[in-house]
Each structure stands twice: as C-alpha cells, then as structure tokens.
Amino acid sequence: MAWRALRGTRAVKPAGQLPIAGLLFAAAALAGYQRTGHLVLGLAVSIAFLAAGGLIGEIARLPVFPRMLLATPGAVVLATKSALPDPLWARVFVGALTVVGTGLIDSLDRRCYRLGLGPLLLAVTTVGLYETVPDPDFALLLVGAALPVALFGWPLPFARLGGPGAAAAAGFLAWADAVGGRGRLATVVAGAVCLGLFAIEPPAHWLLRGKRTILERLTPRLATPVAVSFVQLGLAAACTRIALGDRSPVQAGEIGGIALLLAIIVTYALSERRSHLTPRLRRAER
C-alpha cells in the first residue's frame, strides 16, 4: 500500500519493482541462523546498519560510490564484532568485500531490474559459495533463504533486491565466506570471486561511461534470465577450482583477479559502444 501511494516519486523508481526481495532474504537468513544457534549479535547489528545505509541510498537515489560509503559502518561492525576467525587480513577482507559488494550488487540489480536478475543471481551466488567453502553449513542456510526469493525475479520480475537488501546480502555473503572458509583460507578468496556477474558487469558499465552493457541490451523474455543464471552458475563452478590443491590465498587471489579482469574486458568488448540513453536516463541508471 505504501509503495502504491508513493509510486512514481523519486523514492520508488524504478517504477513497478518492489525493492523488498533482498530484505526478505536477509530476514530469512537471520531467522535461520537464530534457529540453528549460529546467530552472532555482531552479525545482526551489522546487517541492521547495512540495511539502514542502503535505505538512505535508495530513498536519496545516490550513486554507487556514496552507497558504498554508507555501507562502511556496517562493514566495520561485521569485520570486528561478528566472531570472524583469524587472521586479521581475513577480517579486513570481509569488510572490504562487504563495502565493494554492496555497490556491485546494487548497481546490477537497479539497472537490470526488467530481467529480474538481482534475486536470481543472488541465489546462484549462494550455491557457488556453498560449493566453494570447506565448511558449507553457513552458506547452505543462505541457499535456503535465497532460492524462494529468486521467485521474485522469475518467471515474472515482481521485485528487485533493493538498496537495503543488496547491502545486507553483501554482508551475509562475506560473513559466510570467511566463516565457512576457516582452515583453508584460499577458499575465502575463491568465495569472493563467486560474485561472478555481480563483479563483472558493473565495472564494464562504468568503463562504458553510461552506455549499455550486454546484460542491459537483453530482451526481457522468459528464457533470458535463465540463460544468464546458467552463465553465473558456470562462473561459480569455475570458482570452486581456484582453491584446489595447496594454493595460498595470494595465489588464489591472483588467479581470481586475472579471471575477473579478463571477464570484464570481454564484457566491455561485447557491450554496445554507441549509447541510446539520454543524459537524464544515464544519471538515473548510474
């Protein structure tokens, strides 16, 4: 009812898409961790801070980088107060991944809302994380929370993740990655690469300076989001191979970084070079 009352105002654009899928995912994840006895107070507080920062960015329609700054307080709480395992660099990595992941997830979710890609790709990402980390219990719960939420994006794109949900999802993914990867730290880096298209498409969009990427050019058809989800699943499957053997976190980071860089270059090359967007639409999608 509130959405319909505000529909068409600055606070609710893109019109027609409820920005609640990510919040529902976060609520389900918090409830699941609480029921299984794995909910840490610092995790709950950090998710609340992340969602609040995302809400401010959603209402004010801020660009990506200010939204990342709003995610910083929640990321700091997550890195310092959520019972993350040692070493220190893993905690710093979780904080950085939360901040950057907030901007990446939110950017793709807002610009590709017509395809419903946000909820779908989030579900596939949790599956990839589950297959990557050696202690998958924490990631498995995220899979259970994300799969029903994926129905908000397909077959009918009813809702998107939204700014608060994107920030909360980034925090949950980073936390489950670090906790599930303890004892085999290379998987912590590999789990971050499971973001896949979330980490590939937004940088390509920024390099194109407002021009449309290949995902933005896709026609909203029933099979299109499914095809994109299979691409994300393939990227996640590749991430499970990054931490094989006795690779160190540095080696896993080098492999993952090079793979993401090449994927961004390919996405940039396949994207439309000539913009069909007016300056007003460019500002809105930024």
DSSP string, 172-232: HHHHHHHHHTTT-THHHHHHHHTTTHHHHHHHHHHHTTT---TTTTS---SSHHHHHHHHH
Residue 184's pLDDT is what?
A: 83
- SS3 label, residue 274: coil
Residue 247's pLDDT is what?
A: 79
41, two tokens: 């107070």
Residue 212's pLDDT is what?
A: 87
Residue 7's pLDDT is what?
A: 53
Written as tens digits, the pLDDT of the chain (286 aa) is 555 555 555 544 444 578 899 999 999 999 999 999 888 999 999 999 999 999 999 888 899 999 999 999 999 999 999 988 888 998 999 999 999 999 999 999 999 888 999 999 999 999 999 998 888 899 999 999 999 999 998 888 888 999 999 999 999 999 999 999 887 888 889 889 999 999 999 999 999 887 888 888 888 888 999 999 999 999 888 887 887 667 788 888 888 889 899 999 998 988 865 544 445 445 544 5
Closest CA to 251 of 190, 204, 200: 190
Tell me the CA distances in angstroms from 233 to 63, 64, 186, 226, one per residue in order: 28, 25, 20, 10
List the domain boundaries for the chain.
2-285
Say which residues have a Cβ less than 8 Å from residue 209's Cβ, sequence separation at least 6: none
Residue 155's pLDDT is what?
A: 85
Residue 281's pLDDT is what?
A: 46
- SS3 label, residue 86: coil
Residue 158's pLDDT is what?
A: 85
CB 49 within 8 A of CB 70: no
